[in-house]
Every structure is written in structure tokens, then in C-alpha cells.
A = this chain, B = another copy of it.
Amino acid sequence: MQITVLAGGVGGARFVRGLLRTPAVADDPGSTVTVVGNTGDDITLVGLRVCPDLDTLLYTLGGGVDEEQGWGRAGDTREVKAELDALGVGPSWFGLGDRDLGTHLARTRWLGQGLSLSEVTDRLARRWGLPERQVRLLPATDTPIETHVVVDDEDGGERALHFQEWWVRHGARLPARRFTVAGLADAAPAPGVLEAIRSADVVLLPPSNPVVSIGIILGVPGVREALRGTRAPVVGVSPLLGGRPVRGHADACLAPLGVEVSAAGVAGLYADFLGGWLVDDADADATFPPRLPVRALDLLMRDEAGAARIAGAALDLAAELSPAVPVGDR
């Protein structure tokens, strides 16, 4: 089975890790999970290109993630960061682990040698053994894009922050007026992205942020059309449980869009291509778009088994929706 997933960082990575444990993938060596990763929150720090979501996917799927934190390398140290702080170089609020920095240094070096972000990501994926784990990781686009958050300034006007500054430094507490993504309108989907959506047996949307993660991927020209046009069922998992995100700040991202902060509100963002929607038991009785197949279950990913359970439910719903999706081996 060919499964394509559009993913952000921690939630997306954990969902995919669960997906790899479902029988549909684990028991079928021919199955491949193609993960299209968000690149909108990429940032250049101290001259190094950092791709937070791709790195979280690499480390989580490769078995090297800091489980408690959800991102970064397990047991990483911060010696380089301490020296940069002593020198007053780079933002103090961005955590840069030492092993993690090895990734950024290599990526920056390879990009500087003329490799595309796709090619760089492929090298990193091999270092983390992703092909052997049936995973293909693609950036949404090789075009550098950058999400900015427009907030109020002190004079009653507005100012734009890099998404990471808003998210990490300010904890998404500065009310966002809107999000803008530099470069997005002219970005090209990375090689293989549209094909992975069009030729998939199933397309899954994990409980990633619908605005600044999946929303960015959807904004890459051609991606939304590919989702509308694919014969694969597109099944999503709500990132909001009882109107609240499990982690992250999806609520702070939905508000400025005028979208209801709820599982139904998020479903509305995907209405033009969504084939099925998984919501938490807490949202079972909410009102969803008419004719949208909705299934309620416990959506809390407490551990890998929990993530596998939710991913399996998504595949089940996909099989219900499409005769082409194999049933019974999930």
C-alpha cells in the first residue's frame, strides 16, 4: 500500500511512527509511507539552515528524538549554544543542541554545494535509516519559504515576526493578526510531492497544526489541486480534542483566520478534499459538514501504541471510503 502523509512536526512525526506499526505497513514490505513535511517554519540561524519539522520527522522516525521534548536529539548537550551566548551571537531563545547542530551544519554545507533541500533531506533520511523503515521523506517544497506572523506593535500598527520567534520565544501568546508566507505563492512542489498525492492508495492528515503546518503545505501551488484530484481517500485526524490542542498552539493559529476553534472548524478548512474525519470522543456530538464521514475515538496519543491505534482507525475509515484500499490487514 502507498500511503502519503502531510505532516508538521511533533504530532505528525508521532502519528507516522504509529502508522509504521500498523499491520498494513509493518506486515507488508511493499508498503511505503511518503511523508510530505512542512518547511514553512524553516529558519536560518547563525548562518545555518534549520528545518524544525523535517528534523523532528527524521529524529522521531529514525529513533533519535528527545522523547520528552518531542523534538531535538535524545540526550543532546548545548555546548556550542553556550559559547554562542557568551559571544552574543544568534537568538538566545532558540534551543540548538550539539548533535542537532551537526544536522544543520551538514544541511547548510550541502545546500551551499548546490544540492536541493530534497536531496539534502534524502541524505539525512538515509543517515536515519528511513528507507529501511519504509519511509520516504519529502519537503513540501525545495523553494525556501518562511512563515511570518503579523502582530500588533506598540504604536497601534503592526509588525511581522518570524514564525519561530512568535512560536518559541513568545509561546504564541502575542495575538496574531494574520500569517504570511514569504515565497509561498511562487514555490514549486518538491519532486515527487504531487505524484505521491496523486498515486497514493490513501492520503492521511495527521493531527498537525492545520494553519502553520498542513496549511502551509496546502498553500504550495498544486498541492491542493492534487488532493482534490486524487482517487485516494483523504482521511484526517483532528488536532483539536474538545476544542483544545493536545500540544502546540493550533487554537492561537485558527483564531485570526476566523475559523471556529473546534474539530468541525478544522474539518471545514479541508472541506474541498477531505474524505473522512477522525475526531475525539469528546467531539462525537458536534455538528460536522454534511455528508462528511466522521468517526469518534480516543485521540490522545499517549504512546506509540496509541498512535498506531489512531493511525489504524484512519486506515479503517479509508478502506470504508474506497474499494481500492485493502481491508482486513490493518
Interface residues of A (CB under 8 A from B): 46-48, 76-77, 79-84, 86-87, 89-90, 97-103, 105-106, 108-110, 112, 123-124, 127
Given A89-B106, A105-B84, A106-B46, A99 contacting B79 (CB threshold 8 A):
yes
**Assembly stoichiometry (copies):** 2
Nearest CB on B from A236, distance (A): 34
CB neighbours (8 Å) of A106 from chain B are 46, 83-84, 87, 89
A80 to B77, CA, bound (A): 10
A80 to B87, CA, bound (A): 19
Apart from A80-B105, A83-B103, A101-B101: 18 A-B pairs, beta carbons within 8 A = A47-B47, A47-B105, A47-B108, A76-B79, A77-B98, A79-B97, A79-B98, A79-B99, A82-B99, A82-B102, A84-B102, A86-B102, A87-B103, A87-B106, A87-B127, A89-B105, A89-B106, A89-B109
CB neighbours (8 Å) of A99 from chain B are 79-80, 82-83
- By beta carbon, the residue of chain B nearest A47 is B109
CB neighbours (8 Å) of A97 from chain B are 79
Most B C-beta atoms less than 10 A away, residue of A106, A110, A112, A124? A106
CB neighbours (8 Å) of A105 from chain B are 46-48, 80, 84, 89
CB neighbours (8 Å) of A123 from chain B are 87
Nearest CB on B from A147, distance (A): 23
Nearest CB on B from A311, distance (A): 29
B102 pairs with A79, CB closer than 8 A: yes
- By beta carbon, the residue of chain B nearest A83 is B102
CB neighbours (8 Å) of A109 from chain B are 46-47, 89-90
CB neighbours (8 Å) of A83 from chain B are 98-103, 106
A242 to B121, CA, bound (A): 56
CB neighbours (8 Å) of A98 from chain B are 77, 79-80, 83, 98
Nearest CB on B from A107, distance (A): 9
Nearest CB on B from A128, distance (A): 10
- By beta carbon, the residue of chain B nearest A111 is B47
Which are the 10 A-B pairs with shortest beta-carbon distances? A83-B102, A79-B98, A89-B106, A87-B106, A83-B99, A80-B102, A47-B109, A84-B102, A98-B98, A80-B98
A228 to B86, CA, bound (A): 41
- By beta carbon, the residue of chain B nearest A97 is B79
A87 to B79, CA, bound (A): 20
A77 to B46, CA, bound (A): 20
CB neighbours (8 Å) of A101 from chain B are 80, 83, 101
CB neighbours (8 Å) of A82 from chain B are 99, 102
Nearest CB on B from A31, distance (A): 27
CB neighbours (8 Å) of A100 from chain B are 83
A112 to B86, CA, bound (A): 20
A124 to B110, CA, bound (A): 28
- By beta carbon, the residue of chain B nearest A81 is B102
Nearest CB on B from A75, distance (A): 9
Nearest CB on B from A134, distance (A): 22
Nearest CB on B from A177, distance (A): 31
A100 to B86, CA, bound (A): 12
